[in-house]
Structure 1
Amino acid sequence: MSLEDSPARKAFRWHIPVFLAPAVIIYTLVMILPLVGTLQLSLFRTADGASHFVGLDNFRTLFGDPRWASSFWNALRNNCWFFLIHMVVQNPIGVVLAALLSHPKLRFAAFYRTAIFIPTVLSFVIVGFVWKLILSPLWGVAPSMLDLIGLKSWFTPLLGKETYALTTLGLVSVWQFVGIPMMLIYAALLSIPDEVIEAAEMDGITGIAQFWKIKLPLILPSIGIISILTFVGNFNAFDLIYSAQGALAGPNYATDILGTFLYRTFFGFQLQLGDPNMGATIASMMFFIILAGVCVYLFAIQTRLRRYQF
C-alpha cells in the first residue's frame, strides 16, 4: 500500500492537556499530595524526636487499644447517626419541597426557594452559635417562646443532655442544608420533558399519583447523587459540632464524630497532647470509609439507576 493510501495520522490535540493542566496541577497540590502525605504519616511513629516506620501498628493501636478503640467506635456510631438523620429527614423533605415548589400554580415560588436556600450560605460558626443561644436555658429565646404559649414545662436543655444533643445538632444541620437537595431535585423535576407529563395526563395520571408513578422514577439518579453527596459531607463533618459543642464534643462525648476526634488527636486539646501520627491514622480511616461508601454507590447503585436516565 502506498503512502497516499495509508490513513492520515491524527494530529495530537495540544489544547486538551493545556486546558486540563491548571485543574490537574491545582487538584494534585490541594488534594492528592496531602492525601498521600496523610497516608504516609499514618505508617510512622515519632519517638525520642525521631520518626520511625511502624507499618500498620498505628491502625492496630486504633482498633486494639481499649482507650483508642472506644473513642473511635463512639465517634463512628455518632457519625452514622448524624448521617442517618440527614438521609431520613433532610433528603425526603428536600424532595417534598422541590415537588411543591415545582407546581406551576404555586405563587411566590421564587421567594420560597430563596428563603429556604439562604441558610446554606451562612457560616457554620454563625449557625452553631446562634442555635446554641436559641436553645440555651439561661438566655435563649426557646424557653420564652414556649412560655408565651404555656408550654415552658416542655423545655429541656437539648444541647446539654447526652440523649438529645447529637440529634438536635443533626436537625440543625438539616435546617441549614435542606436547600441543597431541594434545589437539585427541583432542577431535575424541571428537566423532565413536557411530552412525558402530557402523556401521563392523557392517561389520567395527575396529582400525587403522577409524582409517584412518573416523576419520582425519573429523578432517582438525582436522588442517588444527593445521597452520596450527603454521605461524603456528613463523614467529613466537623464545623457545626465544633462551633456548638467545642472540641470535646460534649456532653460526655455524646456529639463526638470522626472530625472532632481527629481534631483532638492531631492538634491536641487542653491537657491532651497532639499526636500527628495517630491523627493521620484516623484521617486515613475516614478516607477508607468514604471511599468504600462511594465505591458501593458507583458499582452497586448507580448502575441500576442509569435505566431511568433520558
Structure 2
Amino acid sequence: MKKTFPWHIVIFLTPALIIYSMFSALPLLDTLRLGFYTTNDAGAHTFAGLSNYYTILFDSDWSAAFWNAMLNNVKFFAIHMLLQNPIGLLLATLFSLKGLRWARTYRTLIFLPTLLSVVIIGFIWQLILSPLWGVGEKLMEFVGMADFFAPWLGQQSTALITLALISVWQYIGIPMMLIYAALLAVPEEVLEAAYVEGASAWRIFWQIKLPLILPTLGLVTILTFVANFNAFDLIYSVKGALAGPNYSTDLLGTFFYRTFFGYQAQVGSPTMGAAVATLMFLVILLGVGVYFYAIQRKLTRYAL
C-alpha cells in the first residue's frame, strides 16, 4: 500500500513552529549576531568581531563587574542546590507517606508562594526585614533571638544570602512537587516486596526510591541551574538595577540590564548588552551540556 505524506502533522506543527521562530529562535540568533557589532553615537552598527567579548572579559572597566556578577550567580545557585532541592526532597518524601493528615493542605500552602508575583514577594520581605518598621525583629524578640537581628538586606556580607533564602522560600514548591510526582510513580509492588523482606523505611528510601527518582533529581538540578543563571526579577524588585549595596547582589541578569538599557550614569549599549546576553547563554549552554554528557548518560546507562 502506498504511503501518504503526513500532512496533518505538518499542519498541526506549523503554528507552533512559527510562534517559536518569531519569539524565541529568531531573537536569539539576532542577539548572537548583534554581539559582534559596536554602536557609534549616531546609533549605526559597525562590525567589531570579538572586541565586545574581549572588553567584557578582560577590560578593567568591565571585567570586574562581569566576574563579580558571575561569582554572585554561582553563590546564588549553590544556596539553592544546598537548601532548596534537599528540603524539597525531604518534603516530597514526607508527603508521599501514607496516612499523613492534612498532606494536601500542607502541599498547597508550601506551593502557594510560587504562584505569587516576585514583586509582591520582594515587597513583603522588605517590610518584614526592615529594621525600622518590619515585624522580623519583633518575631525574633518573641522567641528570644532579638540580639541576632540585623539589617540583612542592607549589609554587603548578607544581602545576597538573604535574597537567595527568599528565593528558596518562594520556589521550594517546584522541586517538591516534581519529586513528589516521581515518588508516587514508584511501583507499589516493589515497595511491598521490600516490606515483606523486612527492609526498614530508611533502607527502602535509600536503596529503592532514591535510585528510581534519580532522573527527576537530575531534571530538578538542571532546572535550578537554568533558573538561577537567568535570575533577575527578585534582585531588581528588591535592590533595583544597581543591585546594592555596592553591587553585592549583582547577578548576570542585572548586569545585562544595566549594560543593555543603561541606568543612571551608565549609558546603555544594545551591542554590549547582546554580548553579555550571549555570554549568559553560553554559560547556561555549557552547564546543560555538562549535565547531559556527564550525568544524564550515566543515569540512562543505570536505568538500562
* TM-score after normalising by structure 2: 0.97
Q: Which runs of 5+ in 2 are unaligned?
A: none
1:145 aligned to which of 139, 146, 165: 139
1:111 aligns with 2:86: no
Q: Distance in 2 between matches of 1:299 and 1:199?
A: 35
- Percent identity over paired residues: 58
Q: CA deviation at 1:207?
A: 1.2
Equivalent position of 2:31 in the other structure: 38
Q: CA deviation at 1:19?
A: 1.1
Aligned residues between the structures: 303
Residues 151 and 133 from structure 1, CA distance in 2 versus in 1: closer, same or farther, beyond 3 angstroms? same
SS of corresponding position for 1:52 = strand
Deviating beyond 3 angstroms after TM superposition, the runs of 4 or more aligned structure 1 residues are 307-310
Equivalent position of 2:264 in the other structure: 270
SS of corresponding position for 1:10 = coil
Residue type at the aligned position of 2:155? K
Equivalent position of 1:175 in the other structure: 169
Q: CA deviation at 1:48?
A: 3.8
Equivalent position of 1:51 in the other structure: 45
Cα offsets for 1:127-152 (capped at 9, x unmatched): 11111111110111111222233432
Cα offsets for 1:133-181 (capped at 9, x unmatched): 1111011111122223343221110001111110111010000000000
After the TM superposition, which residues 158-237 of structure 1 pair with which residues of structure 2 at under 5 Å, given as runs?
A: 158-237=152-231
After the TM superposition, which residues 296-307 of structure 1 pair with which residues of structure 2 at under 5 Å, given as runs?
A: 296-307=290-301
Q: Distance in 2 between matches of 1:46 and 1:167?
A: 37
Equivalent position of 2:237 in the other structure: 243
Q: CA deviation at 1:253?
A: 0.3
* TM-score after normalising by structure 1: 0.95
Q: Larger C-alpha radius of gyration, 1 or 2?
A: 1
Q: Distance in 2 between matches of 1:147 and 1:96?
A: 29
Of stretches 182-191 and 47-56 in structure 1, the one that deviates more from structure 2 is 47-56
Q: Distance in 1 between matches of 2:32 and 2:127?
A: 39
Residue type at the aligned position of 2:22? L
Q: Distance in 1 between matches of 2:127 and 2:41?
A: 46
1:82 aligned to which of 76, 94, 101: 76
1:29 aligned to which of 22, 25, 30: 22
Residues 309 and 116 from structure 1, CA distance in 2 versus in 1: closer, same or farther, beyond 3 angstroms? farther
Of stretches 138-147 and 82-91 in structure 1, the one that deviates more from structure 2 is 138-147
Contact 1:217 1:308 in 2 (8 A): no
Q: CA deviation at 1:308?
A: 5.0
Cα offsets for 1:204-226 (capped at 9, x unmatched): 11311111111000000000000
Equivalent position of 1:129 in the other structure: 123
Contact 1:220 1:308 in 2 (8 A): no
Equivalent position of 1:5 in the other structure: none
Q: Distance in 2 between matches of 1:111 and 1:58?
A: 52
Q: Distance in 2 between matches of 1:98 and 1:149?
A: 29
RMSD: 1.2
Equivalent position of 2:13 in the other structure: 20
Residue type at the aligned position of 1:260? T
Residue type at the aligned position of 1:139? W
Q: Distance in 2 between matches of 1:186 and 1:48?
A: 55
Q: Distance in 1 between matches of 2:259 and 2:130?
A: 29
SS of corresponding position for 1:11 = coil
Q: Distance in 2 between matches of 1:120 and 1:129?
A: 15
Q: Distance in 1 between matches of 2:292 and 2:190?
A: 28
